[in-house]
Amino acid sequence: MKTENQTFGAEFILLGFFQYGQMNTVLFVTIAGLFSVTLMGNIILIHLIRLDTPLHTPMYFLLSQLSFIDMMYISTTVPKMAANFLSNDKTITSLDCKIHTFVVLTLGGTEALLLGFMSYDRYVAICHPLHYPVFMSKTICLSMVTCAWASSSINALIHTLHVFQLPFCTSRIINHFFCEVPSLMPLVCEDTSQYEYTVLFSGLIVLLLPFMAILASYAFYQMSSGKGQTKAISTCSSHLIVASLFYGATLSTYTRPHSLHYPEEDKVVAVFYSIITPLLNPFIYSLRNKEVMGARKKITKALLLE
């Protein structure tokens, strides 16, 4: 098969998500609505945390970082999807695709690690409250966030540089709605099995380990709750469901060899970690949180009295 070297001037074609005939408009309006709600929910949560002094704690600092990541994540994927639909121009330059891939990997990896750190924060607060100021000091909290961003950026840079130095076939059609490593693998005109082991290893470290830490922290929480076990399960169940959606979808995408990927299935799975979880996170972490709801009522009341 004919191949060509990667250049900055070369273009790819993103087939996009909207390929369902008369359902195009309905899907577009639905996803545009979800995009707007997601942005609004995360912006409101970030401002509540910034404006309300009692929320200036490690837990809410980590939560504000999660909201920022979710805003960036959905802003990276949905606008290009919408632009492709509205303009009927499905091309994306090589440079834009590289940036897309790097940003998606960085944000996804940072969110995966951050969710793990958030579970550690809750574990310490619930199971070791007297040691919380020591185990979750400002320095440790900032180190966690820095570690998440730095390690994810390095991992994303390595994978992005490697993928785009591989020889692509002359057909540069990406059957997806944004650029990411698994969707680019079918375009490579050489054996990628060895590299796929590297992707699998990265996925297990960045995705599976934090997810296991979350499961373990909630297990310890329940064991420490004693008579309050039912309450613990009720409080944590919604958080665990959303985390499971994110980790389950990303693990499914990044730990399978490309021979087992099916484009239409992959696009649906990608919706869960690129659109659904950023939509659910601000509501899951705020609607069932008395402190956030109290801050919302207090700030709303203050604004009405002005």
Domain CATH code at residue 146: 1.20.1070.10
224 or 279: which leads in pLDDT: 279
Buried b (16+ CB within 10 A) or exposed e, 186-204: bbbeeebeebbeebeebbe
Residue 208: Cβ within 10 Å count: 15
The reported pLDDT for the residue numbered 225 is 59
Rounded to two decimals, the pTM is: 0.89
> Binning pLDDT at 50, 70 and 90, where does residue 6 land?
very low
272 or 126: which leads in pLDDT: 272
pLDDT tens digit sequence for 248-262:
999 999 998 888 888
The reported pLDDT for the residue numbered 206 is 95
Total domains, the chain: 1
Confirm whether 15 is domain-assigned: no
Span of 222-231, 236-245, 263-272 with lowest mean pLDDT: 222-231
Confirm whether 288 is domain-assigned: yes
The reported pLDDT for the residue numbered 10 is 74
Q: Are 115 and 177 in contact (CB under 8 A)?
A: no
Confirm whether 4 is domain-assigned: no
Q: Are 114 and 121 in contact (CB under 8 A)?
A: no
- Dist. CA 35–CA 33, nearest whole Å: 5
How far, CA to CA in Å, does 238 sit from each of 20, 50, 190, 212, 235?
32, 25, 43, 17, 7
Q: Which residues pair with 169 in a beta bridge?
A: 3
pLDDT tens digit sequence for 10-33:
789 988 876 655 567 777 888 889
Confirm whether 233 is domain-assigned: yes
The reported pLDDT for the residue numbered 122 is 84
Residue 25 CA neighbour count, 13 Å, CB half: 1
Give the structural domain span for 252.
Answer: 21-304
DSSP-derived letter for residue 188 is B
Span of 22-26, 192-196, 277-281 with lowest mean pLDDT: 22-26
